[in-house]
Amino acid sequence: MFPTCNLQLCNIDLPMVNIGFSYWLREEMQKRDWTQADLMRHSGISNAQISRVLNESREPGNDFLRAIARAFKVSPEIVFRAAGVLPELKKGEDPTQEQWNFIYTQLDQNKRQQLLQYAQYLAEEQAKYEARPRRMDLAKDLPPVE
């Protein structure tokens, strides 16, 4: 298996290195149990174009990549990175950030507000958890057992 970073939110593998777009595309189709016909139906791309990209006889163009992103319901940046069009993420960059931004833009104003409130709640709960007093390790204060 090629090195990837698993994105649990949408079950997408984000390549940390360009592993070959056709391989990535096959893997994503397989996760969804999609055939080429399914991808054609969801993306609007012709079966011939999909076949040429999968067989690596044609490089995917920008329109192709955008259509794949729409079909998979993921951020276009994910697909463009998989195709090697965008640079790799730098070490320490959060690969989920682009997907969060994409999801956010799909929501209406009310849902955005709900998401923000929920995120604030989670941050507060995490802060409380991290600030709680830690139990002392009682075993370290006991004499050794012989």
Tens of pLDDT, residue by residue over 16-41, are: 433 489 999 999 999 999 999 999 99
Residue 18: predicted pLDDT: 37
Tens of pLDDT, residue by residue over 83-97, are: 988 888 888 888 788
- Token pair listed for 31: 């996760």
Judging by beta carbons within 10 Å of its beta carbon (0-12, 13-18, 19+), is residue 102 exposed, middle or buried?
middle
Domains in the chain and their CATH numbers? 1-131 (1.10.260.40)
Residue 135: predicted pLDDT: 67
- Non-local (6+) Cβ contacts of 99 within 8 A are 7, 9, 10, 12, 74, 75, 78
The torsion defined by the Cα of 122, 31, 93 and 64, in degrees rounded to 10, comes to -120
Contact predicate 88/17, CB 8 Å: yes
Q: Which residue matches tokens 């390790």?
A: 137
Residue 113: predicted pLDDT: 93
Contact predicate 99/75, CB 8 Å: yes
pLDDT over 70 (residue 73)? yes
